[in-house]
Amino acid sequence: MRHFLTLADYTKEEILEILELAAKIKKETKNKEFVKYMPNQTLGMIFEKSSTRTRVSFETGIYQLGGIGLFLSSNDIQLGRGEPMSDTSRVISRMVDMVMIRTFAQSKIEEFAKYSKVPVINGLTTEYHPVQLMADYLTIQEAGLDKDLVVAYVGDGNNMAHSWLNMAAKLGFELRISTPKGYEVDQTILDKALEMAKESGAKIIIGNCPKDAVKNATVVTTDTWVSMGQEDEKEQRLKDFDGYIVDSAMMQLAASNAIFLHCLPAYRGYEVSDEVMESEQSLIFEEAENRLHAQKGVMVWLDRHRNAN
């Protein structure tokens, strides 16, 4: 049974195959050709963390594929009342055709997948956000920047940074991550990415100077400095991230054809300036829309490979 828990579980060829499928489905959608790739199938959507883009994109996506999405918050199911993840998995996976989970620890979604009878998709965990990276890379492909790609990630060494590490390590492009001291990426995840990069030829650079990271980069990206559950750290984080805002001055250091990406929600004036958000270089809303199309690609691919070992 194939699941979509982290990009590290996939080969370069498989990632590109999913993206090609996503692009095909997107073209059909734009032409109002809603091909029923998954007729009458049900996607169980478990949300322990709330979300705008994740819910709308998955629920709309499964509907356009011919199925139906079932929204399940932790308040709606026994999981929120202490039922073990393994029991929840064995119950729900007997009733639906696929499951998407947006939760906290990666270990929780891995446990769910271990006992599941159907494919499981990671809609976000504290450690990884792989579906967002699929949307990001689809946006990069559409911008024609996937050749000689240099990505600069500026900000917190969080799940987005970890997923960029996996994507770069698998596809073989140059990734520069710049974080304040004390906010670096997880060392174990970095070590695994560096090991994978030996095969793909990826160049991964870790540092603490955002200007060095952005210089001549073709993609500049960031994420919120204060993620869900970190609100009590806000004042300290704003001090620690001083100088890491992606503003016009920083974007001028990037390549002339560079684009700006952000997984959203964005806090204008903190990690990114309003001017950059509204600039012609910003593809954030195209990127947000591509969550829909990329995830449809993931779902259809998993459905086709559900009997694979």
Residue ranges of domains in the chain: 7-129+289-304, 144-282
Q: What is the CA angle 265-271-54, rounded to 5?
A: 20
Q: Please give the Cα distance from 240 to 155 (Å, whole number).
A: 10
- Cβ density class 207-245: b for 16+ within 10 Å, e for less: eeebeebbeebbbbbbbbbbbeeeeeeeeebeebbeebb
Rounded to a whole number, what is the largest CA-CA distance in the chain? Answer: 54
C-beta contacts of 79-87 below 8 A and 24+ residues apart: 79/46, 79/48, 80/48, 85/111, 85/112, 85/115, 86/111, 86/112, 86/114, 86/115
CA neighbor of 263 nearest in space, from 120, 135, 140: 135
Q: Please give the Cα distance from 125 to 158 (Å, whole number).
A: 10
Q: What is the CATH number of domain 7-129+289-304?
A: 3.40.50.1370
* Active site members: 102, 129, 132, 223, 263, 291
Residue linked to tokens 């990826």: 202
H/E stretch holding 47 reads strand 42-47
CB atoms under 10 Å from CB of 181, counted, come to 7
Q: Which residues pair with 246 in a beta bridge?
A: 272
Q: Could you read off the pLDDT tens digit of each residue along the chain, which spans 309 residues?
A: 899 999 999 999 999 999 999 999 999 999 999 999 999 999 999 999 989 999 999 999 999 999 999 999 988 787 757 788 899 999 999 999 999 999 999 999 999 999 999 999 999 999 999 999 999 999 999 999 999 999 999 999 999 999 999 999 999 999 999 999 999 999 999 999 999 999 999 999 999 999 999 999 999 999 999 876 777 888 999 999 999 999 999 999 999 999 999 999 999 999 999 999 999 999 999 999 999 999 999 999 999 998 655
Residue type, position 297, single letter:
G
Q: What is the CATH number of domain 144-282?
A: 3.40.50.1370
CA neighbor of 6 nearest in space, from 175, 197, 134: 134
Coil/strand/helix, residue 269: coil
CB atoms under 10 Å from CB of 152, counted, come to 30
pTM of the model: 0.96
CA neighbor of 99 nearest in space, from 82, 79, 122, 80: 122
The reply to whether 7-129+289-304 and 144-282 are identical in fold is: yes
- Cβ density class 153-166: b for 16+ within 10 Å, e for less: bbbbbbbbbbbbbb
CA neighbor of 279 nearest in space, from 297, 252, 301, 305: 252
Q: Please give the Cα distance from 33 to 27 (Å, whole number).
A: 8
Q: Please give the Cα distance from 54 to 60 (Å, whole number).
A: 10
pLDDT of 76 reads 79
262, 129 contact by CB (below 8 A): no
SS3 content of the chain, % helix, strand, coil (to 5): 45, 15, 40
